[in-house]
């Protein structure tokens, strides 16, 4: 790949031998073991459908948007899903602006294959009016910094953005009931996308004639690796896609070992993504809570004093009213006299 070739030109023979020799001893330049991932961080933007993923020095941002379009003729009841990648020279000097290169095309195809062929996104739920209007979901992946293993980071960014995206709710109206009405968020709460599972991409790099294997290669390791294989699996261990990009052949036993390791890594990454999404949803829900206006302050002491004054006035009135029994006694005494 052009990206790997560009990194190779900046490497010396001693640097290449140092990396290869360390891998033969199950050591890596950054201190990891062969099957350890770099630290994964998932952040979200202020708007729904934006995610930012960082693995070591690799930095990828994903955005999800949607628009109403006419469906394909062979799938009148299904929406569509498309992925676009942007490799900016800001992320790596070897990236050229303009037309996407080989690495950009390959990255988009691998991520798209993992999502589309495994039917992770429920496209039938994107249908608004069969044969006329469906939602078209677009995922834009921007490479901000190339620290190696862009494919895994881009895949995680796409999944995180899809899980936090909310599309407007629609209803049918008009005289014939065929008019689509898109409700703004102020009227009706937007709806999340339906994801059946999370296909996680796990990339392996092969070194020294495929004898050494390492997971999550850095850009230094990508410059000296002899081959690469990306497996896409979900948390249940179901294989969604496999991509072997160049290099010599790999033994079946090595592939099976990689699949077992990838299944464990896919479960760990799925838990991290779900935890980050749950935290984001909780924070968003708290911000949407409508705060009630503060209650009007009441003068409790004043009300109590008024009540005491009323009770006191009633007591005074009772004291001034003569008792009927006393009047009768006085009248009887006067008659006797």
- Strand 133-145 with 80-87, pairing: parallel
Closest CA to 156 of 240, 244, 232: 232
Q: What is the largest CA-CA distance in the chain?
A: 143
What tens-digit pLDDT sequence spans the chain (337 residues)? 444 444 444 677 888 888 888 888 888 888 899 999 999 999 998 888 999 999 999 999 999 999 999 999 999 999 999 999 988 777 777 777 777 777 788 888 999 999 988 999 999 999 999 989 999 999 999 999 999 899 999 999 999 999 999 999 988 887 777 788 888 888 888 999 999 999 999 999 988 765 789 999 998 888 888 888 999 999 999 999 998 876 777 888 889 999 999 999 999 999 999 999 999 988 888 877 754 444 444 444 555 555 556 555 655 554 444 444 444 444 444 444 4
Q: What are phi and psi of 322, to 5 degrees?
A: -70, 150
Q: CATH 3.30.420.40: does it fit domain 2-269?
A: no
**DSSP structure string for 224-261:** H-SEEEEEEE-TT--EEEEEEESSS---HHHHHHHHHH
pLDDT computed for residue 326 by the predictor: 45
Please calculate the CA angle 205-210-213 and round it to the nearest 5 degrees.
40
pLDDT computed for residue 319 by the predictor: 47
Cα separations (Å) of 84 from 5, 46, 62, 69, 111? 23, 22, 10, 18, 10
Crossing angle of helices 252-288 and 150-164, in 10° steps, is 40
pLDDT computed for residue 204 by the predictor: 94
The per-type count for the chain, helices as H runs and strands as E runs, is 8, 14
Closest CA to 42 of 198, 243, 223: 198
Q: Where in the chain is the domain with CATH 3.30.230.70?
A: 2-269
- The beta-carbon contacts of 70-73 under 8 Å, at least 24 apart in sequence, are 70/132, 70/133, 70/134, 71/127, 71/130, 71/131, 71/132, 71/133, 71/134
Beta bridge partners of 242: 231
**DSSP structure string for 194-205:** -BS--PEEEEEE
| 225 within 8 A of 23, measured Cβ to Cβ | no
pLDDT computed for residue 210 by the predictor: 59
pLDDT computed for residue 93 by the predictor: 72
pLDDT computed for residue 305 by the predictor: 56
User: Checking phi first, is residue 218 left (phi over 0); if not, alpha (psi -120 to 50) or beta?
Assistant: beta
pLDDT computed for residue 290 by the predictor: 53
The rounded distance, in Å, linking the Cα atoms of 62 and 141 is 5
Rounded to two decimals, the pTM is 0.80
């Amino acid at each position: 790949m052009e990206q790997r070739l560009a990194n190779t030109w900046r490497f010396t023979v001693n640097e290449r031998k140092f990396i290869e020799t360390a891998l033969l001893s199950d050591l890596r330049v950054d201190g990891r073991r062969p099957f350890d991932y770099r630290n994964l961080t998932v952040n979200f933007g202020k708007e729904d459908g934006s995610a930012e993923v960082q693995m070591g020095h690799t930095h990828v941002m994903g955005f999800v948007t949607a628009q109403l379009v006419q469906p394909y003729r062979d799938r009148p009841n299904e929406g569509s899903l498309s992925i676009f990648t942007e490799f900016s020279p800001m992320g790596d000097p070897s990236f050229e602006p303009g037309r996407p290169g080989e690495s950009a095309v390959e990255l988009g195809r691998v991520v798209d294959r993992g999502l589309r062929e495994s039917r992770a996104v429920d496209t039938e739920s994107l249908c608004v009016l069969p044969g006329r209007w469906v939602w078209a979901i677009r995922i834009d992946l921007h490479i901000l910094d190339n620290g190696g293993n862009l494919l895994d980071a881009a895949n995680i960014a796409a999944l995180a953005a899809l899980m936090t995206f909310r599309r407007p709710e629609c209803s049918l109206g008009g005289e014939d009931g065929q008019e689509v009405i898109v409700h703004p968020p102020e009227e009706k709460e937007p709806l999340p996308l339906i994801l059946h599972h999370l296909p996680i991409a796990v990339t392996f790099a092969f070194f020294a004639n495929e004898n050494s294997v390492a997971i999550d290669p850095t850009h230094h390791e990508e410059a000296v690796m002899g081959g690469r294989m990306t497996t896409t699996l979900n948390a249940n261990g179901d294989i969604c896609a496999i991509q072997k990009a160049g290099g010599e052949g790999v033994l079946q036993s090595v592939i099976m070992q990689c699949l077992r390791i990838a299944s464990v890594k896919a479960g760990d990454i799925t838990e991290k993504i779900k935890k980050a999404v749950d935290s984001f949803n909780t924070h968003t829900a708290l911000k949407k809570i409508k705060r009630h206006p503060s209650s009007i302050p009441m003068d409790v002491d004043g009300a109590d004093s008024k009540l005491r004054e009323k009770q006191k006035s009633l007591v005074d009135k009772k004291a001034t009213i003569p008792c009927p029994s006393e009047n009768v006694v006085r009248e009887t005494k006067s008659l006797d006299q």
